[in-house]
Structure formats: structure tokens, C-alpha cells
Amino acid sequence: MWQSLVDSIHNLIPWFDGGLADVVIILIKGLALIFPLIIAMAYMTYAERKVIGFMQLRIGPNRVGPLGLLQPFADVFKMMFKEIIFPTKSNIYLFLLAPILAFVPAVAVWAVVPFGEGFYIANLDVSLLYVMAIGSVGVYGIVLAGWASNSKYPLLGALRSTALLISYELVIGFVIVTVVMIASSVNLNTVVEKQAGGILNWYWIPLFPMMIVFWIGALVETNRAPFDVVEGESEIVGGTHVEYSGMPFALFFMAEYFNMIFMAMLAVLLFFGGWHSPFEGIPLLEGWFEFVPDLFWLLFKMSFFLFLYFWIRASFPRFRYDQIMRLCWKIFLPLTIVWIFVVALMTQLHIGPWF
């Protein structure tokens, strides 16, 4: 698909040689990814308010447009025309750098996501490591926001957040190690390809406890309820972005939602067979659902996880900070380490139907 695009551009402009064409193609690919992402993010805020509204027996947004469908755009325009307030004695450069540092990694991780067979921006050989590396860079946005605001509550929120993110990155890293051991590859494409063949071949069955740990870790990493102590309103006002307004705040907000969508996507890719149909290999159903495109299955599974975010948020009260830390270091970390040994033995001795 891309190659034909390159050729047609080359026919139009003869001096448009290989190197430059590659750059333009990369830019086009990037834009083709970012625009749907922004729309998805905007309508996720809408879905969140609607879903939680219905769960709490309310209606949710219904004023702007039919069924409130234009609400995200109203929010965007409101954000754009708000004044950007700088706290006195804050470091303006670092203050403005912080939201950018939060936003860029949240977009950059999407480069390695396979949306279908051979449908990706970059097929990195170390894509799972890339995901972890770029994901860990996102911490700087929060650290800097807390430090540059020159205010108490952001600093406290940033301290909490950094400690949480570092701790849970460890747990998620170990979970990813177990997936890598079964798939024997750190390439996301290969991990998904190894899960081909119906719902019973996906890794959520052999790695069921790890899937649970991963999802709880994902909730913490994205600062979602019930682990949203970073912006715990009842304790520290609004966390790291108390002092932010207008577009800088919107960037933090977008980064958070991009990360949420990405974690849902990663859960699908690692444990739920990525773009594979759940009915592969099942005699009748496979034929019936033949016409459904790969991308639909991927987005369908992802949407379920996004719904899970809202569901959990509406259901559970906020955890206390030390309880979250205890959950990480005293429960999840030993559990994942034991599971690494279990998975190692199972793959080495070929025990069980999956290895």
C-alpha cells in the first residue's frame, strides 16, 4: 500500500528520490495515526462520562449536539481559548516543557503497535523493549510539572506519582518477561502471530494471573481510579497539574488518555491475540465471521478494555497510597517472580498444552 503511494508521488515529482520519499512517507504514516488517535481520545472522554453517568443513574452530557455528541469539541474549544496562567516564581521554560515531555512519549509508543497483519508504522525487532523504554520516559512530564510549578501540591503529587510509576514499571516489566518467554520474541508482531488460532490459543489462559497483574499495573501506570492518588482531589487538590490551565493542561489530559488507550491496546496484543479473530479454528463460526476485518477485532477487544477502565472507576473507592505500594512490592513482585520461574520450567520441560 505504502509502496504504491511512494511510486505515485515519484511519478508526479521526478526529483523526489528515495531518501526524501521515505521521510515523507514516515510523516504521512505518523499523521494517519495521530488524527484517529485524537478523535478516539476525544470520544473516549465522552464515552467515559456517558458510561459512568448511566452506571450512576444519570444521563451524562446531553446538551451539545444530538445526544451530547459534540461535547468533546466544546471541551476542546474551551481549552484552547483559556488563558495560560504561569505561577509566580515558577520556571517558565520547564513549566512549559513538562506537558510536552508527557505528551510526546504517549504518542511515540504507538509507532510499534501492529494494527493488523503487516499493518504498522515500524516493525522494530525490539518493539516490546521500545514500549517499556518510551513508556518510562513519560515520568519526566510529571516530575517536571511538579517541580517547575513551585507549589506544594504539585510537588507532592509528582513525588507520589514517580514512586508509583517506577514501582509498577517493574511489575509490568516482569509480566512482559513472561510473555516474551512464551512467545520467545520481543517483537510485538511475532507475539501476536504466535497467538494465532482462536480464543483458546491466546496467552490469557496460560498467563491468567499475569494478565490480572498487568491490568492492575496498567491502571496504576495511567493514574486511573481506584489508583488515582496522583491527583487525589480529597488529599492534594489536583496533583501535578494543579497550576496548569488551557492547552498545557489539555496536553497532560491527552497524554493520560493516549496512555490509557495504549495500555488497553497492549493488553490486547499481549494476552488477547491482537488482531486475530476469536473464532479461528472453530468449524462453523470461523466461516460466519470470515468477512470481519482484522482491525475490527483489534479495536473491539481494545474497546472492551477501555470500557473496563470506566467500569472499574465507577465501582471501586480510591486506594490509600501505602496500600498501593504494598500491593506492588509485597504481593505482585513476588507473584510475578515466582511465575517467571513457573513459566521457565513449563516452557523448558514442555508441560501443559500451550508450550
Partner 1 sequence: MEFSSILFYVFSFFFIVSSIMMITSRNTAKAALFLILTFFSAASLWLLLEAEFLAITLILIYVGAVMVLFMFVIKMLDTDKSTLRAQFTRYLPLGIFVSIIVIAQMVLVLNAGQFDLAMTGVPEKHDASYSNITAIAEQLYTLYVYPFELAAILLLIAIIAAITLVHRNESRSKKQNISEQINVQAKDRMRMASIKPKSAKESK
Q: Which residues would be at the binding site for partner 1 (CB under 8 A)?
A: 19-20, 22-23, 91, 94, 97, 124-126, 129-130, 132-137, 139-140, 143-144, 146-148, 155, 158-159, 162, 166, 169, 186, 322-323, 326
Distance from C-alpha of 85 to C-alpha of 23, rounded to nearest angstrom: 37
d(C-alpha 28, C-alpha 15), whole Å: 19
CB of 129 to partner 1, least distance (A): 5
Show contacts of 352-355: CB within 8 Å, 24+ apart. 352/206, 354/182, 354/201, 354/205, 354/206, 355/182, 355/206
Q: How far is Cα 35 from Cα 31, in angstroms, rounded to an integer?
A: 6
- For residues 55 and 132, which CB has a smaller minimum distance to partner 1 in the complex? 132
What is the nearest approach in angstroms of partner 1 to the Cβ of residue 199? 30
Cβ neighbours around 339 below 10 Å, total: 20
Kindly report the number of other CB atoms within 10 A of residue 49's CB atom: 19
CB-wise, 176 or 306, nearer to partner 1? 176
Q: Which residues pair with 116 in a beta bridge?
A: 119
Helices (H), 222-282: 233-236, 246-271
Of the two residues 86 and 307, which places its CB atom closer to partner 1 in the complex?
Answer: 86
Q: Which helix (H) or strand (E) is 238 found in, with range?
A: none
Residue with cell 490469557: 204
Q: How far is the CB of 81 from partner 1 (least distance, A)?
A: 30
Closer CB to partner 1, 19 or 66, in the complex: 19
52 near 314, Cβ under 8 Å?
yes
Tell me the closest approach of the beta carbon of residue 101 to partner 1, in angstroms.
9
Distance CA 155, CA 149 (A): 8
* Residue 116 backbone phi and psi in degrees, to 5: -175, -175
Residue 337 to residue 343: CA distance in whole angstroms = 10
- Tell me the closest approach of the beta carbon of residue 265 to partner 1, in angstroms: 19
Shortest Å, Cβ 2 to partner 1: 15
Question: CB of residue 189 vs partner 1: minimum separation in angstroms?
Answer: 13
For partner 1, which is the closer residue by CB, 44 or 101? Answer: 101
Nearer to partner 1, 27 or 80 (CB): 27
Q: What are phi and psi of 352, to 5 degrees?
A: 85, 160
Q: Tell me which residue has cell 488524527.
A: 35
Least distance CB 266 / partner 1 (angstroms): 16
Q: Which is nearer to partner 1, 69 or 129 (CB)?
A: 129
Toward partner 1, which CB reaches closer, 78 or 326?
Answer: 326
**Contact indicator for 328, 171 with CB cutoff of 8 Å:** yes
